[in-house]
Structure 1
Amino acid sequence: MTLLAVERIKLFSTRSPWWCMALALGLMVGFAALISGSAENASSVAVPVTQFGFTFALAVILVLATLSVTTEYRFNTIKTTFQAVPSRTSALLAKTTVVAVVSGVLGLIAAFGSLGVAMLLQPDANLALNSEADWRQIAGTGLVTFFAAVVAVSVGILIRHTAGAVSVLLAYSLVAENLVQLIPRVGGDIHQWLPFNVANRFLTGNPDVAIAFEGPGQSTSTLTPWGALAYFAGFSVVMLIIAIVTAKKRDA
């Protein structure tokens, strides 16, 4: 518990996490307000529409999680951390846990906040969470941002430089996965198993009803929604294990 408290203090003692949290929340809620407020009629505003800004908010959350690690390497405070805590595994797990929980709660607040704003602007719209798919699209956002933060922390540990880690994460999550589909013959098959595409399957996938989704991009994954979440969670854990093993083998 002491390590968790220390990591919490370190995270919130700088300005960048606060700015990132405000920006992520503002982007997601702002897009929901913009789309809901400009809708021609209430029938065009559904639960998925309120989550249009998720991709933009997720990008900011990835930056937040990455900075939590790379900032320590930049200012060499990571050396002090490893000196104070002989077990690098414990220190890095504590940091990952704090950042992931904060990211998960932030994602949850942003999702419900977006839904709430849409309800205020379009009170006649059908925005009730009446199905498992509706709940997954809203409450599931917190789970996706939780595991996405684990991936971002892992990349930060591996690369250690802010510019490099942020560039890799944003380029991969926003561009590279979609570009894979352009590879002749095998591109589509590979894309089905890429992590962020699979994570979108959890949020948007509904095996029972075909829905038009305007939030996170429709996924090409063939996994069930909960199977997709398990896959994404497993990927994040593997990334973290690789990052911790690497951190233990090299100098701080």
Structure 2
Amino acid sequence: MSSGTLPQTGRQTTGHPPTGGGLPGAIASEWTKLWSVRSIWWCLLASMLLMAATAGQLAIYVANGNTDDDPTNDRGVLAVGRIAVDAVELTQFAVIALALLAITSEYGTGTIRTTLQWIPSRARLLLAKSTVVAGVTFGIGVLLGGLGAAVAAPVLGEWGRFDLGGTVRDSLGLAGYLALISLCTLGLGAALRSAVGTLVTVFLLLAIVPTTLRLPDIGALNAIADALPGSAGLHFLRGETDAYPPAVGLVIVVCWAVAALLAGLVVLRRRDA
């Protein structure tokens, strides 16, 4: 009677569980999706052009501002890595746009529904996106730090000081700051689900609100401005000790990134795609 038996095509032939899923599979998927968005490459190119142009301009200002010809007076000598740090205040917005697109592009095209079908765990999805965004923006930050220093060095000339260890530290600090700000942007993008709304919110937090709060020069308002992520990040990068130690500035940026990601996770869990 074996001729009447149907073949068992659906039976597993091995005891090994399926591969390619879980967090590693989610990260691999997010990595592929990120680099498949054409705008990501434009953001990368824009960040490099902005860094080169801004670093060159700042270096020109420094060189032209030094009129003391006394060789024993080195008050105007500046580390080339510091130019890259100062240039990131503008350059960061191109990197932020990259992080923004990692989440809001899916809401804009509706592909977030497919993503959530493949990765139903909201926490895993956000963790995978965070891993990819943090890794990519950290790498870009290192590249931008080196580029800014390389552009500034010949422009500064005798007014520039190149120290390999210091330049590497500046580049790594810059990369860490950009990664954290990008995570903050990713979290806000998951919560707001709008590219325009997220970009406006981030721009306000990093540029407009701190500047506005400092205009009256009131202690309480200055303290609020110092607690915002952009001010705290630049405080950390520049090694300033006026309001608080540089390490505290780094902690503040970390707190903002964590808070934004938690807000994004709450919205992802409570609302449908």
In the superposition, the TM-score normalised over structure 2's length comes to 0.79
Aligned to 1:80: 114
Q: Which of 205, 211, 232 is the equivalent residue of 1:172?
A: 205
- Cα deviation for residue 22 of structure 1 reads 0.8
Distance 1:45 1:7, change over 3 A: farther
Q: Which of 126, 130, 133 is the equivalent residue of 1:92?
A: 126
Paired letter, 1:189: A
The more displaced of 38-47 and 180-189 is 38-47
Aligned to 2:92: 58
Distance 1:195 1:122, change over 3 A: closer
Contact 1:24–1:56 (8 Å) recurs in 2: no
- Cα deviation for residue 128 of structure 1 reads 2.1
1: distance between equivalents of 2:197 and 2:58?
A: 34
1: distance between equivalents of 2:112 and 2:144?
A: 31
- Cα deviation for residue 45 of structure 1 reads 6.0
- Cα deviation for residue 80 of structure 1 reads 0.5
- Cα deviation for residue 139 of structure 1 reads 2.3
Aligned to 1:33: 56
Aligned to 1:144: 177
Aligned to 2:39: 16
Distance 1:73 1:162, change over 3 A: same
Report the 3-state secondary structure (helix = DSSP H, G, I; strand = E; otherwise coil) of the residue aligned with 1:248.
helix
Report the 3-state secondary structure (helix = DSSP H, G, I; strand = E; otherwise coil) of the residue aligned with 1:186.
helix
1:223 aligns with 2:223: no
1: distance between equivalents of 2:116 and 2:268?
A: 10
Paired letter, 2:194: H
Paired letter, 1:177: P
Contact 1:136–1:203 (8 Å) recurs in 2: no
Encode CA deviations 1:126-173: one digit per residue, 9 max, x unaligned: 3223776x6543320000001000000011111111111112211321
Aligned to 2:220: 186
1: distance between equivalents of 2:58 and 2:180?
A: 28
2: distance between equivalents of 1:24 and 1:246?
A: 30
Encode CA deviations 1:45-102: one digit per residue, 9 max, x unaligned: 6222344421111111112111111110011111111111121110111011101211
1: distance between equivalents of 2:226 and 2:202?
A: 19
- Please show how residues 193-212 of structure 1 align to structure 2 within 5 Å: 193-207=227-241
- Cα deviation for residue 201 of structure 1 reads 1.2
1: distance between equivalents of 2:29 and 2:210?
A: 36
Report the 3-state secondary structure (helix = DSSP H, G, I; strand = E; otherwise coil) of the residue aligned with 2:160.
coil
Contact 2:58–2:87 (8 Å) recurs in 1: no
How many positions carry a matched residue from both structures?
238
Contact 1:158–1:243 (8 Å) recurs in 2: yes
2: distance between equivalents of 1:189 and 1:37?
A: 32
Aligned to 1:216: none
- Cα deviation for residue 185 of structure 1 reads 5.7
Q: Which of 194, 199, 206 is the equivalent residue of 1:161?
A: 194
Distance 1:45 1:117, change over 3 A: farther
- Cα deviation for residue 11 of structure 1 reads 0.5
Contact 1:36–1:50 (8 Å) recurs in 2: no
2: distance between equivalents of 1:195 and 1:167?
A: 15
1: distance between equivalents of 2:263 and 2:58?
A: 41
Identity of aligned residues (%): 26
Could you tell me which runs of 5 or more consecutive residues in structure 1 were left unpaired when the two chains were aligned: 208-219
Aligned to 1:241: 262
Contact 1:23–1:60 (8 Å) recurs in 2: yes
Report the 3-state secondary structure (helix = DSSP H, G, I; strand = E; otherwise coil) of the residue aligned with 2:272.
coil
Contact 2:102–2:186 (8 Å) recurs in 1: yes
1: distance between equivalents of 2:226 and 2:207?
A: 15
In the superposition, the TM-score normalised over structure 1's length comes to 0.85
